[in-house]
Structure 1
Amino acid sequence: MKQELRLSGTGGQGLITAGIILAEAALLDGKLAIQSQSYGPEARGGASKAEVIISDEAIHFPKVTDPDLLLAMSQEAASKYSHDLTAGSVMITDSLFVSDVPDFGGKVYELPITHSAKEVLGKALFANIIALG
């Protein structure tokens, strides 16, 4: 079993932290995992992504090449990081920030992630943790 996951959004939303947490959880579960990250020169406000690969077998390349899942927490991230999704992929979007979902033929779940963080926990800061759940 191999899962390739891309968590994307705007710098400052905590998606790199979420990627690290996800990879660490996989390791604690006895899986192999690798996490990489990318963000533009504007660390706060520009597009950012964390990629996590979780596998039962050796991981030979540290980048996501065939994403099973894309979490898009901003419109820019949904547009920029959905180019290699396939009909077998799943996209989860934050419905507060993503209004134009790219058509890729797979499943899409539009969830009120940031809204839930504000309403339930009192701060948008926790949206990354809600998205992991």
Structure 2
Amino acid sequence: MKKELRLSGSGGQGLILAGIILAEAAINYDLNAVQTQSYGPEARGGASKAEVIISKEEINYPKVRKPDLLLCLTQKSYNEYVKDLKEDGILIVDSSIKIDYNTITGKIYSIPIIETAVKKVGRSMVANIVALGAIGEVLGIIPFEQLKAAVINRVPEGTEDLNTLALEQGAVLIREYME
């Protein structure tokens, strides 16, 4: 079992933190994980991506070549990275993104990540954690409680309940999408 993931969007959306949390949860679940990141020169609004590889075996190369799962929170990140997605890969996008369904052969989850963060959790800044809940549900390799513990360990003190709600709402989004 080896999964390569790319979480993409714009700077300020917290995707690097989400990648760190995902890698930490995997390691705490006795899996191997490596996390890398890159972002544009702008602090906010520039391109941003976090890459995570999770494996039962040793990881020999830390970069994601062909993601098994691609998360896109902006149209720009979708346009740039969708071509890299594995043929049978999983695409999770915010529902505001226009998708070319003819070019994707894997599973597509177009879900209201940012809207859920705003309307159901009350803060747009937790869209990254909503996305993380969705990713955890789709992958199914790290138990929810393990992911929740990693979130609580990494988020600012006093925001644990808010972020737990965001994680739960992300998992609910995927379950509702699958119904």
* TM-score relative to the length of structure 2: 0.71
Cα distance in 2, alignment partners of residues 84 and 113 from structure 1: 22
The amino acid that maps onto 1:74 is: T
Give the structure with the larger helix fraction. 2
1:108 correspondence with 2:125: no
Cα distance in 1, alignment partners of residues 100 and 23 from structure 2: 27
C-alpha displacement at 1:87, in angstroms?
2.2
Cα distance in 2, alignment partners of residues 20 and 87 from structure 1: 26
Counterpart residue number, 2:74: 74
Counterpart residue number, 1:127: 127
C-alpha displacement at 1:68, in angstroms?
0.3
C-alpha displacement at 1:104, in angstroms?
2.6
Asked if the contact 1:78–1:101 (Cα under 8 Å) also holds between the matched residues in 2, the reply is no
Cα distance in 2, alignment partners of residues 44 and 116 from structure 1: 21
C-alpha displacement at 1:23, in angstroms?
0.2
Unaligned runs of 5+ in 2: 134-179
The amino acid that maps onto 1:61 is: Y
Bigger radius of gyration? 2
Q: Which has the higher contact order (CA 8 A, sep 6+)?
A: 1
Cα distance in 2, alignment partners of residues 9 and 2 from structure 1: 23
Cα distance in 2, alignment partners of residues 101 and 114 from structure 1: 20
Cα RMSD for the two superposed structures: 1.1
| Equivalent residue runs for 1:1-133 within 5 Å | 1-96=1-96, 98-101=97-100, 103-133=103-133
Count of equivalent residues: 132
What percent of counterpart residues are identical?
Answer: 56
- Does 31-40 or 104-113 show the bigger shift? 104-113
Unaligned runs of 5+ in 1: none
Cα distance in 2, alignment partners of residues 101 and 30 from structure 1: 37
C-alpha displacement at 1:86, in angstroms?
2.6
* TM-score relative to the length of structure 1: 0.95
Give the structure with the larger strand fraction. 1
Asked if the contact 1:51–1:63 (Cα under 8 Å) also holds between the matched residues in 2, the reply is yes
